[in-house]
């Protein structure tokens, strides 16, 4: 029974997270206080949103390196709209950022689908293009806190039922992505296309169109995260979330989503993001220089890949009768 449970990578990761939190609590009591846990979750909310978008892309055997640049551009667009038209309701800006993200994601998707350019090349290119576009829009200037309306900045910080709205957003996205990945044909198509694109064609799934929707979803989530980011940190400029795309990929990898596509879950992506978030937040608590964070997350990524690869090692054909089911 235990073996059966530990076959699920998510379970393994959850245990690792609990052990980590437990160890910190032992040395530094008070870490597990509800208020602190909420704050850690809140700090990780944006990473969770992006990781879920990236998960859809990686599941379908792609990768989106432009996800952070998309966040930055969409967030900046929302901020600029807010500055130019202070009377626009925030909900409109939120939708605008999400829409902008979806369009940028659709561009990636179209290039992958229609021109069959490898995803890594497409998103490497659009990553620099999207960031460059921010410069063209802002002229290199920062959009600062005092230029933004209070309403714009207030949304993610508002507290509802003891939990910040930013966290509520990520919870909603988790629920949405769980439904999409588990309960919709599109979500299952991500698994099929990533697991065996050749076979997917035979089941009537369009590989290219499935890719397109994966990038579209990742883009829309990046756009939403863009508004949340600029509003929460009350600043928008060319370099926001620079290099964050790799944290996002790291969260997915730690969460057990196979970089080769076709295997992994939304829960895994969330746990992967949480793991990174906890480490980031725990370092100051346990009095370790925050400069250690990068090296630690690097090590965690490597360990996670090694662990996942062990459980997913390619098995040969099962020919001996006695070997069937005994795996």
Partner 1 sequence: MSVSETRFVPDRLHGRAYRMARSWESLLIVVVVAIFIINSFASPYFLDAWNLSDATFNFTEKALIAFAMALVIISGEIDLSVASIIALASTAMGYAAQFGAGTPELVVIGLGIGLLCGAFNGFLITGLGLPSIVVTIGTMSLFRGLSYVVLGDKAFTGYPADFAFFGQGYVFWVISFEFVLFAVMAVLFGILLHLTSFGRMVFAIGNNATAARFSGIRVGRVKFLLFLMTGVMSGMAAICLTSRLGSTRPSIAFGWELEIVTMVVLGGINILGGAGSIIGVVLAAFIMGLVTFGFGLMNVPGIVMSIFIGLLLIGVIALPVLYTRIARRFRRDEAL
Partner 2 sequence: MPDAQQNAAIALDGITKTFPGVRALSDVSLALYPGEVTALVGENGAGKSTLVKILTGIYQPDGGEITMDGEKVSFSTAEAASEHGVTAIHQETVLFDALTVAENIFIGHAPTNRFGLIDWKQIHDRARDILDSIGARIDPRHRLSELGIANRHMVAVARALSVDARVVIMDEPTAALSQKEIEELYELVEKLKADGKAILFISHKFDEIFRIADRYTVFRDGEMVGEGKIAETDENTLVELMVGRPVDQVFPKQDVAIGGPVLTVSGYRHPTEFEDIGFTLRRGEILGFYGLVGAGRSEFMQALFGITKPSAGAVRIDDEIAVIRSPSEAVKQGIVYVPEERGTQGTITAMPIFENVTLPSLAKVSHKGFVRMAEEFALAREYTERLDLRAASLDQPVGNLSGGNQQKVVIAKWLATEPKVIILDEPTKGIDIGSKSAVHAFMSELAGRGLSIIMVSSEIPEILGMSDRVIIMREGRIVSELSRDEMSAEKLVRAAAGIGVAA
Residues that bind partner 1 (CB under 8 A): 63, 65, 111, 115-118, 120-122, 124-129, 131-133, 135-136, 140, 238, 242-243, 246, 249-250, 253, 259-260, 289, 291-302, 305-306, 309
Name the burial class of residue 61, with classes exposed (0-12), middle (13-18) and buried (19+) by CB atoms within 10 angstroms of its CB: buried
From 204, 289, 291, 295, residue interacting with partner 2 (rule: CB under 8 A): 204
Q: Which of 125, 195 has the CB closer to partner 2?
A: 195
**Contact pick of 206, 233, 285, 293 for partner 2 (by CB under 8 A):** 206
205 belongs to the binding site for partner 2 (CB under 8 A): yes
Phi-psi region of 117 (alpha: psi -120 to 50; beta: other; left: phi over 0): beta
Collapsing DSSP states into helix, strand and coil, what is residue 95? Answer: helix
Binding mask 288-327 for partner 2 (x = CB under 8 A): ---------------------------xxxxxxx-xxx-x
Report which of 114, 119, 125 is spatially closest to residue 69, judged by C-alpha positions: 125
253-272 binders of partner 2 (CB under 8 A): 262-263
Rounded Cα distance, 30 and 52, in Å: 30
User: Which of partner 2, partner 1, none binds 39 (CB below 5-8 Å, type-dependent)?
Assistant: none
Residue 7 phi, psi dihedral angles, 5° rounding: -65, -30
Q: Pick between residue 295 and residue 314 the one whose CB is nearest to partner 2.
A: 314
Longest CA span, the chain:
72
Tell me the C-alpha distance between 123 and 252, whole Å. 17
List the beta bridge partners of residue 160: 163
Number of residues that bind partner 2 (CB under 8 A): 31
Q: What is the x/- site pattern for partner 2, positions 163-182, by CB under 8 A?
A: ----------------x--x
Measured in whole angstroms, the distance separating CA 65 from the mean position of its chain's CA atoms is 11
Distance of alpha carbon 75 from the chain centroid: 16
User: Which residues contact partner 2 by CB under 8 A?
Assistant: 179, 182-185, 188, 191-192, 195-196, 198-199, 201-206, 262-263, 315-321, 323-325, 327
């Amino acid at each position: 029974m235990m073996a059966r449970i530990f076959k699920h990578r998510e379970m393994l990761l959850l245990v690792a997270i609990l052990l980590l939190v437990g160890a910190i609590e032992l040395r530094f009591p008070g870490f597990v206080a509800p208020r602190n846990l909420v704050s850690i979750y809140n700090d990780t909310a944006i990473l969770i949103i992006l990781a879920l978008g990236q998960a859809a892309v990686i599941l379908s055997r792609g990768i989106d390196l432009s996800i952070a640049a998309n966040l930055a551009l969409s967030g900046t667009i929302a901020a600029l709209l807010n500055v130019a038209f202070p009377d626009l309701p925030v909900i409109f800006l939120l939708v605008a950022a999400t829409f902008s993200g979806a369009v940028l994601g659709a561009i990636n998707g179209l290039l992958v689908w229609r021109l069959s350019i490898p995803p890594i090349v497409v998103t490497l290119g659009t990553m620099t293009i999207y960031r460059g576009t921010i410069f063209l829009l802002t002229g290199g200037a920062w959009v600062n806190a005092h230029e933004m309306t209070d309403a714009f900045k207030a949304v993610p910080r508002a507290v509802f039922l003891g939990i910040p709205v930013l966290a509520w957003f990520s919870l909603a996205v988790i629920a949405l992505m769980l439904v999409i990945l588990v309960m919709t044909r599109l979500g299952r198509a991500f698994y099929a296309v990533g697991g065996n694109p050749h076979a997917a064609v035979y089941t009537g799934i369009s590989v290219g169109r499935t890719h397109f929707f994966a990038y579209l979803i990742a883009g829309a989530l990046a756009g939403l995260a863009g508004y949340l980011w600029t509003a929460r940190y009350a600043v928008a400029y060319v370099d926001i979330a620079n290099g964050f795309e790799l944290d996002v990929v790291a969260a997915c990898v730690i969460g057990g989503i196979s970089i080769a596509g076709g295997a992994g879950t939304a829960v895994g992506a969330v746990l992967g993001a949480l793991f990174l978030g906890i480490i980031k937040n725990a370092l100051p608590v346990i009095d370790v220089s925050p400069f250690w964070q990068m090296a630690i997350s690097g090590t965690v990524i490597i360990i996670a890949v090694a662990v996942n690869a062990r459980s997913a090692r390619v098995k040969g054909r099962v020919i001996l009768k006695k070997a069937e089911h005994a795996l």
